[in-house]
Chains A and B, each alone.
Chain A
């Protein structure tokens, strides 16, 4: 893809190696990973969707279910609600996320590492946790409920706050990746041409991270519209599409209507995908082989403002967490505020007790290791592969799909697909393996985008040069691509690990007697009204994910010193 958009004055013929054994090997790999996505994503979804055009007994009824859906105002009203929530969340999250990422990459504020770690808090907790924190903060017995001036936290206000909390790190990851690679020569040129600072911002900075901004917006939008944890805990009677799926499936056991709502929920994803394709065609590789890394220079006023902003956002993020820890340690809020560990006695609660905690750690480990190998290889093949355009486009489409698929739908689709009596893969059902597979697929998109963003910023000259030197593709991959992209790869590892720790919706239908999970326990305990133990288990997940994140931080720092020296002047 990148060949087509090389800057105009590039030397005319791109070095074209012959269709070699390499190319066939790469095509075979694309085929294998593509097949993996077809079996673990497309086929289950197809099974699920075919439910939406059938009646309860499985007879084909055409659009009857859809007609029933669209003639029920109570249901269609949720479409509007969902779009509203997702749009407001996107506007807030992308604005805040961009400013934050900008502060971390383009200003000289102190404690950047600390700020960046704090922004990772939300991905270290289940999406139910911000909802729980909001109940303690703004609920009817809330610590600071007066701050809402009589508005109820149960409803759109609560959902948007929780979704901003939940989606912020996803936006920040993408925007930092996008902002941290800039060619200092462009800025030097702009300054030499006496461009004003706003002009530089609008003509150099924004266009440079345009792709990141649009990716972030579409990731946040789809996350917000498909998330079910936040609206479930704090949504009150404000219906959104994701909770409608839950109500249809769990409450009414109406799988057909649940499938219809899921199809409605898929539409924004298709639109987002179309936008993504259009933008991507215009994307230009920023980091040419001769680029010079940009280093911000101190400017007192700007740096102070940025520092203030980062502190505010950090207080919001850390505060929510602190409230949950407080809730977990208090015996019986608000009537008995003595401190202790009563709420950690998970074995007498719903959700599988402490066993589920250990299961979650196993799930997270497997998902991180296997998922990173699969996803990064896939992204690399699709970005840097030569020829086989149709296959790569199809693959790209498959890789984008999971973002739009609500976990609940994925989980149900898995039951229908993997538990079908004729499916030879049926032995996977109720095992840790199926949890791993579904979790990798569920979180494929952001990890894939992280890899793609990193890979896009590598000049295709690297490949061209090594191909002209007759280096086999795997050698370029291992000696150049992997080291250059190592920060992104480590981000993918940690992203998959923590999401596997925190995910609820996809796995709620898939866990078996031996594979109960901590995150599902949070859901079940909150669902039963045991909100304090739910907060306690949520905090256990947080501490685990945070420790692993800390290890990641030091490993990354060590490896960065070894492999990223070229980025420094």
Chain B
């Protein structure tokens, strides 16, 4: 039997927990391919979930991390487009068959392995997700909801108490208040579903229910942060209101409830569905919602109103606010329909488990996801939650080792004393650091590493398990200082061993500052939830807590100000006051005068009612207003409500907006905005002369892959003289480096608008470093090797210039001894509202990843809303409805080289260094590129004006490549390819690293070195070449932030010109050289980082750097 299959199927822990890496390291290329064949056969036939999934992840890891490093690969092969397409459509099995067939016929290699790795990984996660869904559906108490498809089948009835309005004209209100949860230790993210289902013994969490108040806001005393309200109303609608998101809607059709993206009420809708109020089986039913409501409420003409409220807790708190809100809403709906027997007070264990199971279902329905501990707020106090081995009778029995739902044990006061609880409260400072984060990828990494049992990470997991026992011991012993010691060790040790990305530069800066200020009175850092930077805890000696709260707030704000152009922040940091909640979720029945909604509810619903003539309002709406006005007079909680309402009613002052517009105009003027050019592009866009479809080359153009001899392969040893030619040139001062850093990397921070070049993206050489620092460290090494001062130029734009300049000044060029120049951008664009045509083209005509069913529904509904937005805003209009900086865009990297001519930097360099002949131009995110004498030698030897480095195309390399277009060898952008399948037939991808011969380039512009002093001649030379370059329209996602850490993402249109198109000019002599991926790969998305770290790329970069 194969060694790997033995590891998967063994029941002995020492074999079962063997690391894949150990086995693969020793194996040859051929042996690995043979293992893969066996594993693939095995996973197709095994009916055990765990075995199948582990085999899939083994296959992924072998293809991703091992095969590309072994010699024996057949080199460049092309990834079949049909397989790529099947991957996008989530037909993973089909995709894998296509790739395996290609491998059998053309041999294994890096490109095909990249495709196979992606396919196996995606299938692995899909198998896991499907199993979680099946398990959620099969939980007893959930199954009926999937059978109920028609109002006539509807089996729920409202509790009669909720229909009894007594003397009042309004119905009573059921109110649920729910704490959130924080976790003291999650044993290395052991609350992910798969870990609980496969390794229940190791899946343990210490979880505490807490009340919160944001320091310096509101009344100040902590209370349950999450509240939900339910009542019967006199209209046959489902009225949903989110008080925090200031959004309300009357839902009249079943389809609307299942439409999650159209408004901000997705969570309330998911709760209505998961609670069975509108069962999930009704999706697609065409009957009116009123039919369901009539069954529920016993008579026609009535409906239900549900209101949610989160008391000022910002998004990303790592306290599972949204899951607990979902659980709270589900609990109130289940109480109202008798599914939970107690209408008031707390819940018993059976009902809590049911609510937790429904919350998991709700998260799946709403397309979000969390861990199994997240609904911990439903339970009271401090509890140990742990995985449970599936026994006969459990739906999971025979499928997975553990159950979907863990077991909760609430720690009684005898075990953790009241005094200890108070000590913990008095020592812990809870904060939200303000960083915007996406924990999703971290949870995937955890699953992946658990399955692969990588040696160090597995040791980390075992250590995390021991730390939880230590924390538990200290809780019993009542020693909070030692708890701080444990959580600190946990963060510095196992957490970062398992997932290095859980820590970041910001958090480490805060910890250093806390330690520096508080010394031994700082007891430890505590990472809350999935990663650091958002919600976090700091433990201090209790007598310093008050001052620590104040100081920590200041430190966070200062650090944020310093880092905000480099690190994505969603909001201003906050400090919380908190208290342990000892009763869990709790309900209260409010009738008569006390049946009031929260104050802010009235501020949302009253303005439109007040604008309606009184006689036109239904009596209950009038009664609602009466009750509100009475409360304003008598109820102290409603103090100030009238003033707030007044503010909402009167038209808002336009001063702010006016200020923003002025600011935008000033920015445009300052950065040389070409209004005439913009209007021309806008007119062309509106007229359909420019657009996504128009980006493409005509279909009658012939596009072929490169021919033998077109590309020099520098992955293999080159002619020895190249190296010496290059070395001589470097030593003689003929080379300068140009790092292109004008962009913000919209994919890197999903449109958050921070400077990518300054983002401390990874820990290298012992600490977090940003891209500029890494590039300078490589230049430092080359300078020292060749005894020169290599000039290093960083191009900037309006978006990046100030921040880059101030960072370099603050960090003194990161100690780089040679000259560092900034080349400020001279061009700027104003973003535009996209054309509906282009949005539809992007969504419907261009290949895109199909998401899983639920997420896909969400996406369709968001897209419908975006079309509405475009129409409302005016297609092709200027995009100005955001912060001024978010309305501008850089106009593509074509301009970055001409900018060197226009801003005088090249003239200055040439004057200072007359021997300068060549520029190595590279993207900021090509971390592995350096001034390599062999490639420089090749470039000089070829006599080319420009030599471009290309890499073998892997699956993720989309965006054009090297091709013969109508016979001419040139770079082509992905945007310009008439069909997406063509890209897959191109063997090489453009790394965008170019070696440029300065004299030949100037000649192409019709300039001499002397002409560089003549600004108008340079300007007209640049304009004349620019006019020969195509203008591409692209769609970019831009974030608009609002409320407390909320973000909306809008697609906006912008134009760009790209440098690769220079290779189409017949007078420019171009050469191409294939380099290794280690050198040529670009880091476009943070999700790539983990693989980059694990496949040796990071180590390679470190080997090039001299810190």
A and B associate in one complex: no
Using a CB–CB distance below 8 Å, which chain A residues touch chain B? none
